[in-house]
């Protein structure tokens, strides 16, 4: 590949670091030097950014933040995954006057999911701003609830155009103190038919309101909006030239965030790799993922901007020498790494932009060797994926995820190899005698004894893969699969274009395949129909996060704002904790025992069937026992299914 083909072209009015076409080396240095602290953000907002763990501003942030702080209108040509939310939210927060208790910033988004997501981002970035309130408002949600919150006082409103317009018409949204309007994903609002509402809103706000418009593309109607309402906008557009990576195989895997670790461990198990760099977005993630991989038996370490230079160099040296096989890095820390034995780059989190992608991918396939790059993208990040393909003029193929049977087959082959190795290299006399003795004592065939021993040997790393296929496997019963069921997890469904099947099955009917030996308990989770959750989302997320076979997930009752789900009564505390933090449709589940005892969920009062272990396995132990029999969370390499 040729990094040298990479230049950055930016719009007319850009910040000091971005004014010219620069070589990647210079550009890297310029961006690397630029810190959030250089952008003029208020100390409280800066503090929050530090605690979220962002190392450096993404290009769109580096450019937009100073403009917005300066009071300029901004036209940002950017899409999801580039960090555009922080690009407008951080400076917008700096402009708020905490003493004024009415909306000062209005963000318009095409979907309620995005409204909720943006509102959450504001909450995160306003962590250190006392008394700050943001309110998402969108259709489908109770008007009175929104009204109550508006009356209590909010500083930022994030809403879908229709509902915002309704509030404005009814005069329930006081925009007299409005300082700024942000149009997020303007082209999507156009595509979804909201453009008239958007224009109506723009007409109604005071002429001196600052405006920032973000759009991935610039169709004529958006250009018209820009011309009509933005005053001398600063245009922020980052356009890389193409760079070719002809010696690198590039693939993508559409995967939800909560499935990434599973998918990664499966990949690590399946592929033959020498050295690997896994890219994530925050320095926290580098450490967390390094810990998780180390716990699974991989020689993995984090590489991030918090580490001093010599520590970073040591880390890269270890990757070179083979003391480490995997480095989990942020973009900044991995800049320029040149290690020949890196056979794979995994984009665990999507890069901000095409340039970062090109740089990341270029860390493999060094010195003319062949390289491989795999990109994880959430269903709603497909657009950036398409942009990468378009701008690099390269096809990124879907990763062909193997079926459960194929994975089992692979594991069996490698197990057989290990047995053959042991037969060839170990002194087995003692063990042969032991097996023969056991067979004679129990009047068994030697094959039966060998079978039991093989079972014991694989317990930590089960050979058979059971349960649902990995997302990405094109299999008829893969209900969360990419090419098929997975589409339904994406945005189209979010927009209420749901197929009848999901809607009809708002409850998960009485289960017939549940393990009758498990006492079930009704739990309340804080996500419901109004949030767009479906039983399938709930089963998928719980099964993944708690590593719980779906047969231990009982009836589900979807309510408007929460749901009740039956799960084993004796789930270990750590699993419950995990589920408290799990998110579905951007809602934290905050799982707790249902105070109403699951009323109306189809209570399961069946007495627990006597257990084969005579009841020894009650409580947390019992649950763990069941999990091990099904989907256990093993401690070592490649054993999770």
Nearest to 70 by CA among 202, 214, 210, 207: 210
Residue 64: count other Cβ atoms within 10 Å of its Cβ: 31
Cβ closest to ligand AMP, residue 124 vs residue 314: 124
Q: What contacts 353, CB < 8 A, 6 or more positions away?
A: 58, 59, 60, 78, 82, 238, 240
Quote the least distance from Cβ 127 to ligand AMP, whole Å.
13
The verdict on 282 binding ligand AMP (CB under 6 A) reads: yes
DSSP state of 401: P
Is 88 near ligand AMP (CB under 6 A)?
A: no
Cβ(372)–Cβ(397) under 8 Å?
no
Contacting range for ligand AMP; rule: CB under 6 A; set: 19-27, 84-92, 253-261, 266-274: 84-92
Q: Tell me how far, at minimum, the Cβ of 553 lies from ligand AMP, in Å.
A: 28
Residue 256 or 475: the one with the smaller Cβ distance to ligand AMP is 256
CB of 275 to ligand AMP, least distance (A): 24
Binding mask 495-514 for ligand AMP (x = CB under 6 A): --------------------
The interface region with ligand AMP, picked from 53-61, 353-361, 587-595, 599-607 by CB under 6 A, is 53-61
**Residue 289 interacts with ligand AMP (CB under 6 A): yes or no:** no
Minimal distance, residue 57 CB to ligand AMP, in Å:
5
CB 261 within 8 A of CB 19: no
Question: Counting contacts by CB under 6 A, is residue 80 touching ligand AMP?
Answer: yes
Cβ at position 395, least distance to ligand AMP in Å: 24
Q: Is 58 in the site for ligand AMP (CB under 6 A)?
A: yes
Tokens of 492: 């189209």
How far lies 35's CA from each of 29, 53, 76, 287, 507, in Å?
A: 12, 13, 20, 21, 49
Residue 57 interacts with ligand AMP (CB under 6 A): yes or no? yes
How distant is the alpha carbon of residue 25 from its chain centre? 30
- Binding segment toward ligand AMP, per CB under 6 A, in 79-87, 164-172, 193-201, 212-220: 79-87
Can you spell out the DSSP letters for 35-57?
Answer: -GGGGT--HHHHHHHHHHT--S-
Contact status: 84 vs ligand AMP (CB under 6 A)? yes
Instruction: Using CB under 6 A, pick the residue from 34, 54, 374, 471 that binds ligand AMP.
Output: 54
> Residue 632, interface with ligand AMP (CB under 6 A)?
no
Q: Which stretch binds ligand AMP (CB under 6 A): 27-35, 50-58, 163-171, 197-205?
A: 50-58
User: Which residues are registered as beta bridge partners of 279?
Assistant: 329, 347
Spatial separation of the C-alpha atoms in residues 327 and 567, rounded to whole Å: 37
A 10 A CB-CB count for 315 gives: 21
Burial class of residue 91 (count of CB atoms within 10 Å of its CB; 0-12, 13-18, 19+) = buried
Comparing CB distances to ligand AMP, the nearer of 109 and 549 is 109
Q: How far is the CB of 294 from ligand AMP (least distance, A)?
A: 23
- The answer to the question of residue 86 lying near ligand AMP (CB under 6 A) is yes
To which residue do tokens 């995967």 refer?
Answer: 255
Q: Say if residues 237 and 77 touch (Cβ distance below 8 Å).
A: yes
281 binds ligand AMP (CB under 6 A): yes
350-355-360 Cα angle (round to 5): 60
CA–CA distances in Å: residue 629 to residues 218, 373, 454, 503, 512 = 54, 35, 15, 34, 19
Identify the sign of the CA torsion 167, 170, 171, 172: negative
Confirm or reject binding of residue 81 to ligand AMP (CB under 6 A). Answer: yes
Is the alpha carbon torsion for 50, 54, 58, 61 positive or negative?
A: negative
Nearest CB to ligand AMP, comparing residues 84 and 344 = 84
What is the x/- site pattern for ligand AMP, positions 431-470, by CB under 6 A? ----------------------------------------
Number of H helices, E strands in the chain: 23, 22
Nearer to ligand AMP, 86 or 326 (CB): 86
Name the residue among 558, 540, 551 with its Cα closest to residue 504: 558
User: Which is nearer to ligand AMP, 107 or 373 (by Cβ)?
Assistant: 107
Q: Considering beta carbons, is residue 109 or 555 the nearer one to ligand AMP?
A: 109
Q: How far is the CB of 281 from ligand AMP (least distance, A)?
A: 4
- Say whether residue 387 binds ligand AMP (CB under 6 A): no
Binding site for ligand AMP (CB under 6 A): 54, 57-58, 61, 80-86, 281-282
């Amino acid at each position: 590949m040729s990094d040298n083909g990479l230049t950055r072209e930016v719009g007319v009015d850009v910040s000091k670091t971005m004014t010219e076409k620069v070589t990647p080396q210079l550009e890297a240095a310029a961006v690397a030097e630029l810190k959030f602290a250089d952008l003029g953000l208020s100390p409280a907002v800066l503090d929050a950014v530090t605690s979220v763990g962002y190392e450096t501003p993404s290009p769109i942030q580096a450019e937009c933040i100073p403009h917005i702080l300066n009071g300029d209108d901004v036209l940002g040509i950017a899409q999801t995954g580039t960090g555009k939310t922080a690009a407008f939210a951080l400076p917008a927060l700096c402009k708020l006057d905490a003493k004024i208790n009415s909306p000062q910033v209005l963000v318009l988004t095409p979907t309620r999911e995005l409204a909720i997501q943006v509102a959450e981002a504001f909450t995160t970035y306003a962590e250190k701003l006392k008394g700050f309130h943001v309110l998402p408002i969108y259709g489908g949600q109770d008007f009175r609830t929104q009204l109550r919150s508006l009356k209590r006082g909010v500083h930022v409103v994030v809403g879908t155009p229709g509902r915002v317009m309704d509030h404005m018409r009814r005069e329930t949204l006081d925009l007299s103190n409005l300082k700024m309007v942000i149009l997020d994903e303007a082209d999507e609002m156009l595509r979804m038919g909201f453009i008239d509402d958007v224009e109506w809103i723009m007409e109604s706000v005071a002429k001196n309101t600052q405006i920032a418009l973000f759009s991935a593309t610039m169709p004529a109607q958006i250009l018209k909006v820009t011309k009509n309402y933005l005053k001398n906008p600063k245009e922020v557009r980052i356009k890389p030239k193409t760079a070719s990576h002809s010696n690198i195989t590039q693939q993508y895997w559409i995967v939800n965030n909560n499935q990434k670790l599973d998918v990664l461990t499966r990949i690590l198990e399946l592929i033959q790799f020498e050295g690997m760099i896994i890219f994530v977005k925050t320095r926290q993630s580098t450490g967390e993922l390094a810990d998780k991989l180390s716990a699974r038996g991989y020689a993995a370490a984090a590489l991030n901007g918090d580490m001093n230079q010599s520590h970073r160099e040591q880390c890269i040296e270890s990757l070179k020498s083979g003391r480490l096989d995997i480095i989990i890095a942020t973009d900044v820390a991995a800049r320029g790494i040149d290690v020949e034995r890196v056979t794979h780059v995994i984009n665990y989190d999507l890069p901000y932009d095409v340039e970062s992608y090109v740089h990341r991918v270029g860390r493999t396939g060094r010195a003319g060797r062949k390289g491989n790059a795999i990109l994880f993208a959430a269903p709603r990040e497909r657009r950036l994926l398409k942009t990468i393909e378009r701008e690099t003029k390269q096809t990124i193929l879907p990763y062909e995820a193997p079926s459960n049977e194929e994975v089992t087959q692979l594991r069996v082959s490698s197990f057989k190899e290990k047995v053959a190795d042991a037969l060839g290299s170990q002194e087995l006399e003692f063990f042969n005698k032991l097996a023969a003795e056991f067979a004679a004592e129990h009047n068994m065939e030697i094959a039966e004894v060998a079978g039991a021993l093989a079972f014991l040997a694989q317990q930590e790393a089960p050979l058979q893969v059971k349960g649902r296929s990995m997302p990405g496997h094109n299999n008829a019963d893969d209900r969360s699969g990419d090419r098929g069921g997975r589409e339904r997890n994406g945005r189209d469904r979010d927009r209420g274009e749901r197929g009848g099947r999901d809607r009809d099955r708002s409850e998960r009917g009485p289960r017939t395949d549940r393990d009758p030996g498990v006492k079930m308990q009704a739990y309340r989770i804080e996500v419901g129909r109004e949030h767009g959750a479906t039983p399938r989302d709930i089963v998928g997320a719980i099964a993944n996060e708690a590593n719980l076979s779906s047969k231990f997930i009982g009836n589900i009752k979807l309510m408007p704002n929460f749901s009740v789900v039956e799960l084993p009564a004796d789930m270990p505390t750590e699993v419950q904790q995990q589920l408290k933090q799990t998110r579905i449709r951007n809602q934290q589940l905050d799982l707790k025992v249902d105070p109403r005892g699951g009323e109306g969920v189809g209570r399961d009062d069946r007495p627990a069937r006597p257990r084969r272990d005579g009841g020894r396995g009650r409580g947390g132990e019992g649950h763990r026992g069941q999990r091990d029999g099904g989907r256990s969370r093993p401690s070592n390499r490649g054993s999770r299914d």
